[in-house]
Structure 1
Amino acid sequence: MHTPEQHLEPKPARLSACEMTEIVMPNDANPLGIMLGGRLLHIMDIAATIAAMRHAGHPCVTTSFDSVDFHTPIHIGEVCIVRARVTWTGRTSLEVGIDVFAESPIKGERRHTTSAFATFVALDQETGRPTRVPPLLLETDEDRRCFAEGEQRRQLRLARRHARG
């Protein structure tokens, strides 16, 4: 377990990014032939968890999903592409941005269908207690913008938690 005195080397988001690809089958869809939101959230959570664990170097558990926006549906037969990337890190928690695309495997046309943010806590494998995560190395203007926006979302999550008591 990391002690507060230990220095953790910052890591860039590009090293922990995850991309998953699946074809949408009839079992993944509703009677209208549109991918079920719960099925898509399941895949999004897996991709985001992989990115979180890669960055943290520890098992990570999902603590929240924020701002899930379903922009357009994904249909049976389309390829579902899920991209996850760490956008913000705290002491023991980290946020992962998730973008989903649908692609026609025949025409190759791709469109952005879904976006979300998920928050994770890294756990020490031996104790099961929260443990420190490496800081995020901000390499680009986009990294810095995402980190600042992630800090704002963190403040909103804390305010919601405080309001619930």
Structure 2
Amino acid sequence: MENYKTVAESQTIMTELMIPSYSNFGGKIHGGVILSLMDKVAYVCAAKHAETYCVTASIDNVDFRASVEVGEIISLLASVNYVGNSSLVVGIKVLAENVKTRAVKHTNSSYFSMVALDENSHKPVQVPGLVLENETEIQRFITAMHRKELNRYYKQEGERIKSSFKNEDFLAVLKKERCILKQP
């Protein structure tokens, strides 16, 4: 198939040792370090698929499921779950392994929306289509489509609320919440 690629062609695994300088005040690996590594692996995966420079457009739901300890080895598994015209959704799963006990835990998951850009004009360019070869790949593609629809809906709802809510409407909603409203 011309201008189509399989998911496997761009799948990427990045592995790194978690060192003390990556830790936060609580002695665990700082979430920002993990996010930075996730961004790198998302770029590599997207660029392999698109065969051009890609930028991060958004990050959807970074779920921190378990902490990562100093001395553990993390593996970031990335694959293209969805392609649009110039955009790609890269799914990332982070696993941490304790080298002494060999215990492996799933620590993070996320979805990075990437956009392929022409290296000279910096304008979006079309990416290859995606060949879906099994049920998992089909489910991931459809789930990414639904996530895009929901994000579009949430954005529209936010705009609608901003433009149509009156101050007294906000006050009625806020009375049920744990907040104090101080107005000038």
Q: Please give the TM-score of this superposition, normalised by the length of structure 1.
A: 0.91
Q: What's the secondary structure of 1:33's corresponding residue?
A: coil
How large is the RMSD of aligned CA atoms in angstroms? 1.4
> Do residues 110 (structure 1) and 104 (structure 2) align?
yes
> Do residues 93 (structure 1) and 87 (structure 2) align?
yes
Conserved in 2, the CA contact under 8 Å of 1:19 and 1:84?
A: yes
Partners in 2 of 1:75 and 1:17 — Cα distance? 26
Q: What's the secondary structure of 2:77's corresponding residue?
A: strand
Q: What's the secondary structure of 1:14's corresponding residue?
A: coil
> Do residues 54 (structure 1) and 31 (structure 2) align?
no
> Do residues 9 (structure 1) and 21 (structure 2) align?
no
Cα gap change, 1:164/1:63 in structure 2, threshold over 3 Å: closer, same or farther? Answer: farther
Superposed, 1:81-160 pairs within 5 Å as: 81-160=75-154
Superposed, 1:68-83 pairs within 5 Å as: 68-83=62-77
**Could you list the per-position Cα deviations for residues 95-138 of structure 1 after superposition, in whole angstroms to 9, with x for gaps in the alignment?**
00000000011222211110000000100112110000011110
Which residue does 2:178 correspond to in 1?
Answer: none
- What is the percent sequence identity of the aligned residues? 34
CA shift at 1:158, angstroms?
Answer: 2.4
CA shift at 1:157, angstroms?
Answer: 2.5
- Could you tell me which of 19, 22, 28 is aligned with 1:34? 28
Larger Rg: 2
Partners in 1 of 2:31 and 2:74 — Cα distance? 12
Q: What's the secondary structure of 2:8's corresponding residue?
A: helix
Partners in 2 of 1:21 and 1:161 — Cα distance? 35
Partners in 1 of 2:127 and 2:49 — Cα distance? 8
Q: Please give the TM-score of this superposition, normalised by the length of structure 2.
A: 0.82
CA shift at 1:38, angstroms?
Answer: 0.6
- Could you tell me which of 8, 11, 15 is aligned with 1:21? 15
Structure 2: runs of 5+ lacking an equivalent = 160-184
Deviating above 4 A after TM superposition, structure 1's stretches of 4 or more consecutive aligned residues are: none
Q: What's the secondary structure of 1:147's corresponding residue?
A: helix
* Number of residue pairs matched by the alignment: 159
Partners in 2 of 1:36 and 1:100 — Cα distance? 14
* Higher RCO (Cα < 8 Å, 6 or more apart): 1
Q: What's the secondary structure of 1:144's corresponding residue?
A: helix
**Could you list the per-position Cα deviations for residues 31-55 of structure 1 after superposition, in whole angstroms to 9, with x for gaps in the alignment?**
2221101110000000011000000
Conserved in 2, the CA contact under 8 Å of 1:8 and 1:133?
A: no
**Could you list the per-position Cα deviations for residues 121-160 of structure 1 after superposition, in whole angstroms to 9, with x for gaps in the alignment?**
1001121100000111101111100000010111122233
